Amino acid sequence: MDWQAVRLSLELAGLTTLLLLALGLPIAHWLAFSRFRLKFLVEAVVALPIVLPPTVLGFYLLLAAGPRSPLGRLWERVLGHPLPFSFEGLLLASVLYSLPFAVQPFAAAFASVDRSLIEASECLGASRLSTFLRVILPLSWAGVLAGMVLSFAHTLGEFGVVLMVGGNLPGVTRTASIAVYDEVQAMNYEAAGRTALFLLVASFLLLAVTYGLRSRQKRPWTLS
């Protein structure tokens, strides 16, 4: 098994999940509770990566982050190297590509919290942040955890986006899924089989956890 690629995959998935937690919670909160009339448009944008071919997402990312775009130049000045074909570029692409897998379960879990509890909290003088941390989050933890596990699993399984944005640099952007492809191309079936088995087992376990959590969604996480 290609340990370097597996480690890179796990690192990428872990960091992506953390970033999605930071980014996804506020977006999901807004989606679950906003009364903005054009909210459906934002929902559609968030869901785009589900249906978009990874190559399309990768293509636009390359365009946006390339040396000729303002974003790309800014990035190069800050980090000292261009965004495409770097780990950071891969991370950015992964965050965008897995966004719906985090935001949708988060938002669904938040929306399922009884509104009267949120109103009770507001009437008791709690700020929005306080209500979120003390009522919404403890009552939707299973959905949040499910969203995190799904983002992790989805990032592990990325292929097209990684190839487009990351290229195939060992130790930098060569993830486990790319490694399998490489081994197969080199007719190295035994090595490919081991990495593939790892991805299969890991993905199955993660999904089992996700669906297991779904049945526990109703049970609140009880604080002392």
Interface residue list for another protein (CB under 8 A): 114, 116-117, 119-127, 130, 134-135, 138-139, 220-224
The least CB distance from residue 138 to another protein, in Å, is: 5
Pick 14 or 138: Cβ nearer another protein = 138
Pick 96 or 213: Cβ nearer another protein = 213
Name the residue among 63, 88, 89, 55 with its Cα closest to residue 164: 55
3-state DSSP helix/strand/coil % of the chain, to nearest 5: 75, 0, 25
Pick 68 or 218: Cβ nearer another protein = 218
Pick 116 or 215: Cβ nearer another protein = 116
Calpha distance 167→182 (Å, rounded): 12
Place of tokens 């299969």: 200
- Contacts of 112 by beta carbon, 8 Å cutoff, 6+ apart: 140, 143, 217
The least CB distance from residue 176 to another protein, in Å, is: 38
The DSSP secondary-structure symbol of 182 reads: H
The least CB distance from residue 130 to another protein, in Å, is: 7
How many degrees, rounded to 5, is the angle at CA 84 between CA 3 and CA 17?
A: 55
The least CB distance from residue 65 to another protein, in Å, is: 41
